[in-house]
Every structure is written in structure tokens, then in C-alpha cells.
Amino acid sequence: MIEVEAFVKRYGEFVAVAGASFAIPAGSVAALVGPNGAGKTTTIRTLCGILRPTAGRMRVAGADLAVDPILVKQRTAYVPDDPPLFDTLTVQEHLQFIASAYRLTDWQDDADELLGRFTLDEKKNTLASELSRGMRQKVAIACAYLRRPDVLLLDEPMTGLDPPSIRTLKETIREQSQRGATVLVSSHLLSLVDDLCDFLVLIRQGKVLFSGPLGEARERFGGASGSLEEVFFRLTGQAEELGDQDLAVSDD
């Protein structure tokens, strides 16, 4: 579960997020979408405790971020859009490191399975510095999955992945949600997240234009195609005329 209430983030004088509120039910696969500079990365980096909110309240995986940030970090995995790996560790050593840092037991079979599914087995003894962009991305995703987190925050996870890897990513995200994890995916690839996600948070200029079930967004704003792309263009295009108030959708 992810609950965000009246979240404000300023960088100096600049307001990047201006009072965002939304609640993502546990077990959802939610899309966080919005134009460049909307505040998606800022929101995700705040949710996992890397950035401090200027104001507002966040509950992530059953814990209040302001009260128990360590618990939130234990229960949450974050994969940034350009994952920083350890150049001098191999692929296998990254998984070992995560297992030891988070005191995982019986992780080796899971690690082998993840390496196989993301076609990294042949690279398991390769240093991170010698991996391609997409391979680095897959190592970071495998490390996140290995921990079996309650909440997964994935910022542009499809960047650099080839079509088979995108398919694997989608399958594995669905599996994470089936085991109860809440997944928040930020992406500009609307057609790819369209059939993956069941919940939508759409933001623009730091304001939430819509939050609620994706089906509801499709019905109300998807036009004849009912696609997420149509929802995106209608909401981001009409927001000024309609006003944010009219577009806000409650989560109940």
C-alpha cells in the first residue's frame, strides 16, 4: 500500500510537487505517468526515503515515512532509471551482496531463477562495468526482486530493455503483484504499461490530475479506444479548462 497526502516538494524556490494526494491499494500494479518534469522521479525518490518531503505525509508498506524511515526502506525496493551498480562486483556478487545486506536466507535458487529469466546466466561472472545498459538494468531489477519487497518502485524500468526482456519484466511484475507486493511503475511507454497496470496516477506540473483504477480512467477519459494514451492526452490537454478539482477521483 502507498498513501500520499498533501505532498509538497520544493527545490529551493521551485515547487516540483504541489500538494499531491493519492492512495494505491496493496497488490496493485500502478502506473505513475505524466509529461517531462511532472514530478514523477521526485515523488518516487521521496517515497523510498532518498528525498525529504517539504510537506505532507507518506505511508509506504504499512509504515509512516516520517516516523519509521528504516522500516520503509526495509520493505521497499527502488530501481532508478539508471541504476548505479558496483563496477568491481560481478552480476552474481551483486545478488550475494543484496542477500547479505538484507540478511536473506535460502536465496540462491531464487537468484539462479532470476538470472535465467533475465538471460543473465552467461554473464553471472562478468563485472558490472562490462555490462550493457540493458543488462545493468536487469541486474538492478533482479536485485530488487530477490528481496521480495512489499513495495516496488520502478522508475522507467523498460529503458534499454530488448523486447524479450520487456516481456519478462511485465510477467515478473505481474507475479510480484500476485504475491501481494504493491508495484509503482513510472514510464512514458504508455502502450507498454497500458496492459500491465490496474491503477493510474497521472500528474502534470506537480499536481495529480487523476488517481484511481485504470478501468475508471479508460471509461471516463479513454474515448472510443479506451487506451491509456487517449486518457493521457485528454487529461493533460483538458486539465486547464476543467480544473483539477473536476478531474480528481477518489480511491474508494
How many residues bind to ligand ATP according to rule CB under 6 A? 11
SS3 4: strand
**Which of residues 13, 14, 103, 252 is near ligand ATP by CB under 6 A?**
14
Nearest to 72 by CA among 57, 87, 82: 57
Instruction: Tell me the window of 9-17, 144-152, 193-201, 217-225 that interacts with ligand ATP (CB under 6 A).
Output: 9-17
Q: Shortest approach of ligand ATP to residue 111 CB, angstroms?
A: 30
**Residues ≥6 apart with Cβ < 8 Å to 229:** 190, 191, 194
Query: In this complex, which beta carbon is closest to ligand ATP, that of residue 12 or of residue 163?
Result: 12
Query: In this complex, which beta carbon is closest to ligand ATP, that of residue 96 or of residue 205?
Result: 205
Residues 19-48, one symbol each (x = binds ligand ATP by CB under 6 A, - = not), give ---------------x-xxxxxxx------
Contact call for residue 13 and ligand ATP (CB under 6 A):
no
Q: Which residues pair with 173 in a beta bridge?
A: none
Contact call for residue 214 and ligand ATP (CB under 6 A):
no
**Residues ≥6 apart with Cβ < 8 Å to 188:** 33, 156
Q: Shortest approach of ligand ATP to residue 38 CB, angstroms?
A: 4
Q: Residue 135 is which amino acid?
A: M
How many other C-beta atoms lie within 10 A of the C-beta of residue 55?
Answer: 12
By CB under 6 A, what part of segment 129-158 binds ligand ATP? none
Interface residues with ligand ATP (CB under 6 A)?
A: 11, 14, 16, 34, 36-42
